[in-house]
Copies of this chain bind each other. A is one copy, B any other.
């Protein structure tokens, strides 16, 4: 029960609005794990009492966090912590379409190996960890209508995901990687960054995708971030685009 008197934490008479201070306090509880994705935060009335502010101020703080995507509310139920904002992996870059108004194809994921590898440049630099820190390497194939379309190699810091290699790989077929990471390790994906280029596949990618090395492919490098812009995954992917195309909206 959070009936504690937190009022001391809010400072009046400073140029920072009360609602903003409250907002940041709630956000901090989300980021440090006191409030996990899916958890219900205190009700408006509880916040009114424990912080000694008016209902309007509480509403403003909460609605701001809702607009920022950290919380969602259900009338009659409560206010809850949002999980990963990238709801479908397909919206990240695996939505392959023939056309602007085309339909999304049937997509399946096939893991083809997970192992521990030594850290290397540039992965460890992108992940902001020491270059001698080991990594998990996860290789996967994305199949469109049964045909290999994307060959993806993910690198994750071992210290963040200690039990990942013991994790049954069947799980990776059922759901996107970010969903597994959020559920098992409490790391929600907030945003990501991509580098895109056109090139020829290397020997391994050509073999896995079943294409000649003379066929141009999209080469994507991706960094996935959690709260406070902390990177947790570095990914390389080779995408066949000769028939289908990569789609993106923003």
Contacts and interface: CB of A to CB of B under 8 A. Distances in A.
A120 B67 CA distance: 42
Contacts of A25: none
Contacts of A219: 198
9 contacts: A100-B126, A191-B249, A193-B249, A194-B247, A196-B196, A198-B218, A198-B239, A198-B241, A199-B216
Given A100-B223, A223-B100, A198 B195 contact: no
A88 interface: no
A229 B150 CA distance: 30
Secondary structure call for the A interface: strand
A66 to B, nearest CB: 10
B100 A193 contact: yes
Given A67-B67, A200-B216, A245 B191 contact: no
A103 B168 CA distance: 41
Contact of A196 (B122, B218, B221): B218
A143 to B, nearest CB: 18
Interface of A: 67, 97, 99-100, 122, 126, 191-200, 216-219, 221, 223, 239, 241-242, 245-250
A38 to B, nearest CB: 24
A198 B243 CA distance: 10
Q: Which 7 A-B pairs have the closest CB atoms?
A: A216-B216, A197-B241, A198-B198, A198-B216, A196-B246, A195-B245, A197-B245
Given A67-B67, A198-B217, A217-B198, A193 B248 contact: yes
Nearest to A86: B250
A100 B191 CA distance: 14
